[in-house]
Structures are given as C-alpha cells and as structure tokens.
Amino acid sequence: MKILTLNCGSSSIKYQLFDFKEGESLLVKGLLERIGCKDSVLTHKVVVRNEEYSETRPVPSHTEGIQWIINWLIDEQKGVLKQVEEITAAGHRVAHGGEYFPDSALITPEVKKKIEDLIELAPLHNPANLRGILAMENLLPGIPQVAVFDTSFHHTLPPRAYFYALPYEYYEKYKIRRYGFHGTSHKYVAQKAASLIGRNWEELKIITCHLGNGSSITAIDRGKSVDTSMGFTPVEGLVMGTRTGDLDLGALLSIMDKEKLDTRAANDLINKKSGMLGLSGISNDMRDIERAAHDGNQRAQLALEVFAYRIKKYIGAYVAAMNGLDLLVFTGGIGENDYETRQHVCANMEYLGIKIDLDKNCYLKGKDEIISLPDSPVKVVIACTNEELVIARDTYRIISKK
Ligand code: ADP
C-alpha cells in the first residue's frame, strides 16, 4: 500500500511517498518551491536508490505542481511506480482544524467545507492546504484522502489553558481562543521518548520542546496535551526564528502608533521581522547566530540568552501546571542538533530534577538518545521528529477503517 503525503504551503509543496506493505518504508521525498514563479524548482530524492533529481521550470499552480510530482513518481528513470493507480491514498497536513477535529479525518465534502470555514483562523495556511486537496481530487479522482491537523492533539486543552482574558463574546463570535500547533510532532516525540526510556507515555508527565524555525512547547499529562505555548496563531509562546513569541500587546500598540503601522505591517513585524532575526540583526538561523556569538557579537549572545530563558520559564510553568515532570523531550532542527541550546535550557534546573550529562549532550546530534544523568529524577531525551511519517500512519489507519 503506497501513501503519498503532501504538505502544501502557499508557494511550496513538500511530499513523501511511503510503502506500508513491508513495515513502513520511505520511497521518495521531495520539495517543489516557488510555485507561481517562472523559476519553480523541484528537488526529488529517490530514497530507495539514493538518487537525486532537480529541475527548474514555471509552475503556475498547485495542480500543475502536483501533476509534475506525480509525473516524476511514475517516470521510468526518476520514478518508483509503474502507474499512478499504485498510490492508494493521500495524506495532507492541514494547519487548522479549529474546534471541529480532535483527530485526523477522511476528507469528505463536509470536511472540506470545515477546512474552508477555518480559513478565517488560518488565512495563510488553510487555503494552500485546501488547494492541495482539490488538486489531488482533480488529478486522481476517487482516491481516498486524509487531513491531518496540526491542532488535533491539543483538543484536550482544558478551558483554563485555552481561554484568553478577553471579553467572552469574542470567543463566541470569532472563536478567539488558544488552539496550539505542531500537534503531530509533540505527540509523536512524546510517545517515542517514553518508549526510549522503557515507559508508556500514558503513565508519564512529559514536556516536549519542538525547537525549529517555528518553536513550541507542550505539557502532556498521561497522554493528553494539557497546555501548549502557541495560541490562536503560531506567533504566541517561545522566541522563534522570526516571530516574537509572547509579547506585551501594549508594546505592539505603541510601535504601531509610533511607526504608523497598519495591521498588515504589524503582522509582518511580529511574524517575519522579529524573534532571533530581530534581536540579533544577523539571521533567523540558529547556526549563523551561534557562529556570530562565538565571534563575540553581543546581540547574537543576547538573542541566544533570550531564546533559552523563555524555554526555561515555560518548563517551570508546565511543571507547575502538571504538578511534576518525568520526561523532558527535545526535538526539531534546534532541539535535535543544537547541544548549546539544550545545555543552556537545562542549566541550573537541579531543583526541578533535571540533570543532564554534559559530555553526552555535546556529541549528540540528530539521534534518539537519553541525555540525562542516571541519577536525574527527570529523564531528558532527544527524539527526532517525523511529521510526514505521522501523516502517512494516520492516513493508513483512517483508510483501513473505511
Ligand atoms: P522548521 O520549523 O522550518 O521545520 P527546522 O525544524 O528544520 O525548522 O529547524 C530549523 C532550525 O534548526 C534552524 O534555526 C537551524 O539553524 C537549526 N539547526 C539545524 N541544524 C543545526 C545544528 N547542527 N546546530 C544548530 N542549529 C541547527
């Protein structure tokens, strides 16, 4: 059974093709970028044969983009399929499931309508996700498709964690509340890390730190997300590559006033110009910032301190929220690879029972591993995330029930 996963952004499509016949094997992964431009680029890796292909040509829409991807999947040289009918199902990453979807869902006309209704809550992401779903419908009519929502895992948040202290009517009228994102990743790494320490995640208090360009942190109490740092949009919470994370709204209003910013410009400010980029003035990329910090750049050093301190504060808050902690998990490009961040976050946390093995932490990169000391009351683990695999697994599970 072959499952194609699609993660459609406004101008890009990430895809992977899995075979679920003998276990779970990844056959192909690729990325189409710059959709809508004259120089769209498709990079296509045939994992099973260790080959890579790339080509540039204009791709005006998602439908044409997916058509190109499918053509390469069945191409004699670049492909792994004899015919397109070998694709059993498609799984889509969908950013926002609102209050509708506690789990991934088989795509039906009603589900599409709800994803469309939720554009109001995710104006950047849901339209692109929907475009991918419709493109697949046109190209491969009748193929079962599944939507896997970034928000689903956080459906268990209690009202005390998801309400903002705004007039209640805004929740009723506009569904303004905290939703949380990165749900597939938090759930996947929590389960993986628990099994790495030989425990069932449903008996543990876990904090998962997904640290990448976008970052979020989640408190998971016996298998349920009980709090998470992203809110109504993915801008709340931790300091990110270009997003502010938590911010005094009064400060934003003051900047808008002084710089004469409209809501669009303010949105750009908090989403694209802030975070590590804004603080350091160097880059949104952790590697560039660390290099500059080692060379003595003070703003880079400040950005790193603010980044790690925010994570530390959230860990403290979530220990309080759950009345304890058994397992702390690091994942995402930074969480998996950057030992300095892990070291800064875990420093001086003995009071909370967090003690890491500094030597072990230093040499580990992109590998599932326990990094806490044997006598650390809280186990600390690096667990590599794999959102595409979760999408493929959920798709397989849901179409098997059909
Ligand atoms: P996204 O949110 O776009 O999926 P990723 O999870 O890929 O992001 O993470 C990207 C971040 O991970 C970047 O800031 C990058 O600098 C950082 N990163 C990747 N590899 C390393 C490394 N070896 N050391 C430090 N940071 C790294």
Our mutation pick for probing the ligand 1 site, out of 12, 235, 287, 339, counting the most ligand atoms within 8 A of Cβ, is 287
Radius of gyration of the chain (CA): 21
Residue carrying the six token digits 């949380």 = 180
pLDDT, residue 81, reads 96
pLDDT tens for the chain, 402 residues long, are 999 999 998 889 999 999 998 789 999 999 999 999 999 999 999 999 999 999 999 999 999 999 999 999 999 999 999 999 999 999 999 999 999 999 999 999 999 999 999 998 888 889 999 999 999 999 999 999 999 999 999 999 999 999 999 999 999 999 999 999 999 999 999 999 999 999 999 999 999 999 999 999 999 999 999 999 999 999 999 999 999 999 999 999 999 999 999 999 999 999 999 999 999 999 999 999 999 999 999 999 999 999 999 999 999 999 999 999 999 999 999 999 999 999 999 999 999 999 999 999 998 788 999 999 999 999 999 999 999 999 999 999 999 987
pLDDT, residue 21, reads 85
pLDDT, residue 10, reads 85
- What is each CA distance from 205 to 102, 188, 208, 335, in whole angstroms? 21, 15, 10, 19
User: Exposed e or buried b for every residue in 139-166, given b needs 16+ CB within 10 A?
Assistant: bbeebbbbbbbbbbbbbebeeebbeeee
For the residues of 251-284, what is the DSSP string, one character each?
Answer: HHHHHHHHHT--HHHHHHHHHHS-HHHHHHSS-S
Active site residues: 150
**Ligand 1 pocket, 388 CB below 6 A?**
no
DSSP state of 302: H
pLDDT, residue 365, reads 82
**Ligand 1 pocket, 332 CB below 6 A?**
yes
Q: Which two tokens stand for residue 271?
A: 């989403």
**Ligand 1 pocket, 285 CB below 6 A?**
yes
Our mutation pick for probing the ligand 1 site, out of 282, 336, 338, counting the most ligand atoms within 8 A of Cβ, is 338
The CA distance from 228 to 181, in Å, is 8
**Ligand 1 pocket, 286 CB below 6 A?**
yes
Q: Which atom of ligand 1 is nearest to the CA of 290?
A: 25
The CA distance from 104 to 92, in Å, is 10
Say whether pTM exceeds 0.85.
Answer: yes
Distance 289 CA to ligand 1 centre (A): 11
Q: Which atom of ligand 1 is nearest to the CA of 211?
A: 6
